[in-house]
Chain A
Amino acid sequence: MANQSSTEGIRIAIVGAGPGGLSAALRAAELGISHVLIEAAPNIANTIRRYQKGKLVMSEPRQLPLRSSLSFTSGIREDLLRTWQQELADRDINLLTGDPVTNIQRQHDGFLISLSSGHHLTTECVVLAIGLQGNVRKLGVPGETLPNVQYQLDDPDEYRSETIAVIGGGDAGVENALALTGHNRVILLNRQEEFTTCSEANFQRLRDAIKAGGIETQVNTSVVRVEAITGSDAPLSLVVQSPQGMERIECHRIIARLGATPPRRMLEGFGIRFPSDDRAAVPQLSERYESNVPGLYIIGALAGYPLIKQALNQGYEVIEYIQGNPVEPADQGLLLAKFLRIPDLPTVTEGIDLLRANLPLFAPLTTLQLREFMLDSEVLTPPSGEVIFRRNDYGNSFFSLLRGAVEIHIEGQDGKKVIIKLAQGDFFGEIGLLSGRRRSATVVAGNECVLVETPRRSMLKLLDAVPGVQRKLDEVALRRVIRGCLGASLAESEVAHLVQAAKSRQFAVGEVIFNEGDESDALYMIRKGSVTVSRKSNDKEVVAAYISAGNYFGEMGLISKTPRTATVRAAAPTEVILLEAERFNAVLDQNPSVRREVTSRYLEGVRSKEASTSGKNSGLIQFLMDQGVGEATDVLLIDYSKCIRCDNCETACAELHDGTSRFSRRAGQTYEQIHVPASCRHCEHPRCMKDCPPDAIHRSINGEVYITDACIGCGNCQSNCPYGVIQMAEKTQFQRPSLLHLIFGMKIKHLPQNPLASEGKKAVKCDMCRDIIGGSACVRACPTGAAFRVNPEDFLTMLDK
């Protein structure tokens, strides 16, 4: 490697020396192309350098062949970095480190690149490979850029006798706070109640520091603004919202460690366009990784490919593309294998064309996006008459009909069966995708049908990336939801009439959708999430019912034309669809059978509501909703009036799951005698799935959310789960207590645990014993029957018992 600064007339500037940039630079060097590799950090591969020490770096996706001049196999972080360093050492790579790129502007035939040191470079094209770790997240409140508000801590010994507020309860924040103790007064602020996102070791150290008085903590606290104050010893005043109300903390320094955001704003400054406002949106690229700015290419994590191998491959390919060499992408073989399942489809190009021609929903996608879509998807060719999925299965993959037809068997709420036929170009499975709930109908394959099944994550990514898809999907989904709610016998024109005026609205947990006494102006259908219905009795709000996605509410007022008789609140992040009262009533007038059905449900509703307004359980319901039971599909509860605290449940779990209990009996909250242990809720919309690079988290058709062996141990899911139920653990040999222990009835405190062949730490969580006959070991191992599992639909009925 040669560090060189005479850099005029360069052909390719590669920004970011992560796996993507390194691979690109190496290929450019091999081909003898004049290039420069610019890295912000003092060293190459900064992202990987920041993994925890000794981390096992995994080479997912396994099937994807590696095509790069750099080698890459699974191994320890240190070994990987050393190998790369060696492989790069004697190559002619033009590397510029320690100088972040601050701007890239298009000029005549090329680009002007500005560096933070003040230097400028001109090049013909640019390959952006700066990953996603780069941009540190700011506080996002007024005063976030005041002096002494900082987002990293280089040398803790620099500060003495200061009052320092550290914001953020993750590992970075906790580690910084710990490093600053001793010489400073340190206040650690955390938005959550508990420090669940930091590692166990850090948490232990934090606890010790709190106990020793070294760190003060403020939990459940969020920052409102930062003010500069003059004339005082402490130059900053931090205004926070805490459970006690607004508070002011005067300090010398604020260190915020809030993670990173995609470097979106910077990219937009370069002229790169993003398809949507979503935080997760990635720029739209051509199949040669070229962005909307000609000559500016984007690869690696920044382009939406979150794994090292992908970045390496793209680094190689992008150089070939820039040189005009028609290489096949490394994933060509995988893609072809998928297309070959479709009869008479010999090439990938034809396959992509077929997708475009036969699936209008995906017409707006670029070829690159279609390739990715197909790589994630499966082609299915079920024989006629086979069931594709069944009503009440869990599942949130999405199906498109590439050829042939399917039948959808819907059971109306009146018990009548209706069959709807879908043909080529249609899609189904969107309700499960959007609502996270069970399938609402059974789908049977027709003649010669060819289906494309796309996993939930890829679909969501697409929806973010291509607004056109979102709109189309929404429209059809809306029509189907209305049908599903109001009965399949409504005429298409009437449904369309309702859809025209339908509005969608989002509500956060606990937000009121309407209040008791409000005017009844609309019918609400829950598309996603769930709500609780409550009424006032003796000045107390009493929860009377729980309604889940796929159902409607608010019909009572419309039918009886009276004000709302109850208050409805979101029990989970919820999306509802509003149907105007007038249109709704007009449609009902023309459809006496639908009216009859709605009315009968209304009467039933009245009765059941009278019955359950006794209200003795409303506190408990509220508590359970706060614990996330509202968005759960299956949650472990413990009746503490029966629990003898033997922890047999945990032991059983650990024994069946590689030595680590997937939940903690002790942790978690208690209301009266009902305890919610820290255990997975199997959420309708599992937030853990969101940023999993190898897409290792899935939901099975029985509803369990589980993590596969593809996990690379990055810890994203752990920080994304709002209930703190994911742990990073190694597989250990579980040692059963010996017979002696048994005879004397002793409890074993610490069993020596032997890590198995080092697979490294991986994310583990409850999988509801999905592969164990008999089901949940925790429940079955409880001697007194204190542990039980519920889903929110059942728990109201259980309450009445």
Chain B
Amino acid sequence: MEQPSFLAYRNYRYLKITGLVITAALIAYLLARPAGGAAYGGTIFGYALGIASALIVLVLTWYGIRKRRPPKVPERREADRRKFADTDATRCQSNRRVINAEESWRHGTTLQGWLSMHVYLGIALVVLTSLHAGFRVGWNIHTLAYVLVLLVCLSGLYGTYAYLRYPRLITENIGEESLDDLLLKISEADELATHRATDLPSEVKTLVSRACRDTRLGGKFIQQISGRQHDCPTKLAVERLRELGKELVDGDQPRLIRDLYTVLLQKQRLVDMVRKEISLNARMRFWLYLHAPLSIALLAALLAHILTILIYW
């Protein structure tokens, strides 16, 4: 019952379109390739490719606007068709009614369709701009635009990979729990551990209080991504407690240690889960913070490129 991914949208419709676009561009390039690598961008095909690229960039950027503008269809329909509206008996034939992305396409677009198009056209863009530039680079505004295209597309490619990979891992890690619940449980475990450590030697108390205080869950970007903490105090406490268990054998101590150990072990499991959740989420999302600003920078560079061309050509 898992759904097809956005890459497969409508039976790979946009992959097919992209294939055609790239083939057309290659043919155009081969036909018009100026001997000796002269400025290709200036030829008629060069212009065409440039303009096509710019249009694609606009369409791709539009995705960001479209995404934040939910399927706003201004016309609302008459929700209840009039009782005796029409007499033809054709409408009652379809027995099935699955409202899914497929069906609603006929009436309004789905964001899934837009993303599928976005990804494939983005890939086509790499080819198109490369051909348009005639593979010439230099320290100039033109190349800046080109490099930005490459960067945006690279981050986009990573994003596609991330979107295909991480959601599943996130569910597998955290299942039905929520981050808030886990944090709550961790703070409960902290309380319980502190409580259980009260009658134990001060070394244990220090271990526990450090585990409560210094265990880091999120942190800076790199720490979030890594999902680890060097010398994690909870982990240290667990390990140290295991050793201490052999040493502290007087009276009630073995039982107290065992109780405490169970709590800390539990906490360690929770901490690992939270860190993994944070890490997976960070990996799934961080690229967008490059992708979106860079695409705006690209827009600016593109504008500059075109202006330069218009002024100096």
Complex interface: stretch among A467-475, A488-496, A772-780 = A772-780
The reply on A751 being an interface residue by CB < 8 A is no
Give min CB distance, A354 to chain B, whole Å. 22
Does the CB pair B296–A743 fall under 8 Å?
A: yes
User: Is A669 touching B176 in the complex (CB atoms < 8 A)?
Assistant: yes
Does A386 lie within 8 Å of B3, measured CB to CB?
A: no
Report if B266 contacts A (CB, 8 A). no
* Those of B68-86 within 8 Å (CB) of chain A: 68-73, 75-81, 83-84, 86
Chain B residues in 8 Å Cβ range of A790: 98, 100
A736→B167 contact, CB < 8 A: no
Question: Which residue of A is nearest B73, CB measured?
Answer: A773
Known: A392-B92, A794-B98. A777 touches B163 (CB 8 A): no
A111→B125 CA distance, assembly (Å)? 91
B87 at the interface (CB under 8 A from A): yes
Find out whether the CB atom of B184 lies under 8 angstroms from the CB atom of A770.
no
Taking a contact as CB atoms under 8 Å apart, the answer to whether A772 and B3 are in contact is no
Scan residues 624-642 of chain A and give those whose CB is less than 8 A from a CB of chain B: 634, 637, 639-642
Q: Is the CB of A781 within 8 A of B71?
A: yes
Question: In the complex, what distance in Å separates the CA atom of A382 from the CA atom of B72?
Answer: 37
How many A residues have CB within 8 A of the partner chain? 76
Which residues B53-75 have CB closer than 8 A to chain A?
64-65, 67-73, 75
Measured in the bound complex, the distance between the Cα atoms of B115 and A644 in whole Å is 13
Q: Is B11 an interface residue (CB 8 A)?
A: no
| Contact between chains at B107 and A641 (CB < 8 Å) | no
A703 CA to B78 CA, complexed, in Å? 15
Q: Does A88 contact B (CB under 8 A)?
A: no
Q: A391-B92, A392-B92, A737-B68 are in contact. Are A385 and B101 (CB under 8 A)?
A: no
Chain A residues in 8 Å Cβ range of B281: 645
B-binding segment of A119-127, A238-246, A294-302, A649-657: A649-657
Range for the number of chain B residues in contact with chain A: 35 or more
A640/B84 in contact, CB under 8 A: no
Pick out which of these stretches binds chain A: B133-141, B225-233, B285-293: B285-293
Q: Kindly state whether residue B304 has any CB partner on chain A within 8 Å.
A: no
**A387/B89 in contact, CB under 8 A:** yes
B31 cross-chain contacts in A, Cβ below 8 A: none
Asked if B99 is an interface residue, CB under 8 A from chain A, the answer is yes
Q: Is B198 part of the binding interface, using a Cβ–Cβ cutoff of 8 Å?
A: no
Given contacts A387-B89, A781-B70, contact A775 B4 (CB under 8 A): no
Quick check: B178 and A666 within 8 Å, CB to CB? yes
A648 touches B110 (CB 8 A): no
CA gap between A791 and B281 in the complex, in Å: 32
Those of A664-723 within 8 Å (CB) of chain B: 666, 669-670, 672-675, 700-701, 703
Least CB distance from B259 to A in Å reads 18
Q: How far, in Å, is A401 (CB) from chain B's closest CB?
A: 16
Whether the pair A777, B70 counts as a contact (CB closer than 8 A) is: yes
Partner of A652, one of B71, B77, B83, B115: B71
Say whether B84 contacts A382, CB under 8 Å. Answer: yes
The answer to whether A644 and B67 have CB atoms under 8 Å apart is no
CB < 8 Å: which of B1, B73, B83 contacts A774?
B73
Residues on A with C-beta less than 8 A from B188 are: 211
Which residues of A have CB within 8 Å of B71?
A: 652, 772, 774, 777, 780-781
Q: Which residues of B contact A385 (CB under 8 A)?
A: 87
Are B69 and A736 touching (Cβ within 8 A)?
yes
B92 contact from A380, A393, A784, Cβ within 8 A: A393
Cα separation A409 to B88 with both chains bound (whole Å)? 13
Contacts of B103 on A, CB cut-off 8 Å? 775
- B79 touching A770 by the CB < 8 A rule? yes
Additional pairs, 5, CB under 8 Å, beyond known A392-B95, A772-B77: A387-B84, A637-B1, A640-B170, A666-B178, A736-B69
Q: List 12 A-B contacts (CB under 8 A).
A: A211-B188, A380-B83, A620-B1, A642-B2, A642-B3, A648-B70, A655-B70, A775-B104, A782-B101, A786-B3, A788-B98, A789-B99
Taking Cβ atoms with an 8 Å cutoff, the residues of A that contact B are: 211, 380, 382-383, 385-393, 409, 442, 617, 620, 634, 637, 639-645, 648, 651-653, 655-656, 666, 669-670, 672-675, 700-701, 703, 736-737, 741-745, 768, 770-777, 779-786, 788-791, 793-795, 798-799, 801
Residues of B within 8 A of A (CB): 1-6, 9, 64-65, 67-73, 75-81, 83-84, 86-87, 89, 91-92, 94-101, 103-104, 107-112, 114-115, 163, 166-168, 170-171, 175-176, 178, 184, 187-188, 281, 284, 288-289, 291-293, 296
Closest 9 CB pairs of A and B: A774-B108, A652-B70, A745-B292, A785-B112, A641-B168, A774-B107, A771-B79, A390-B92, A640-B171
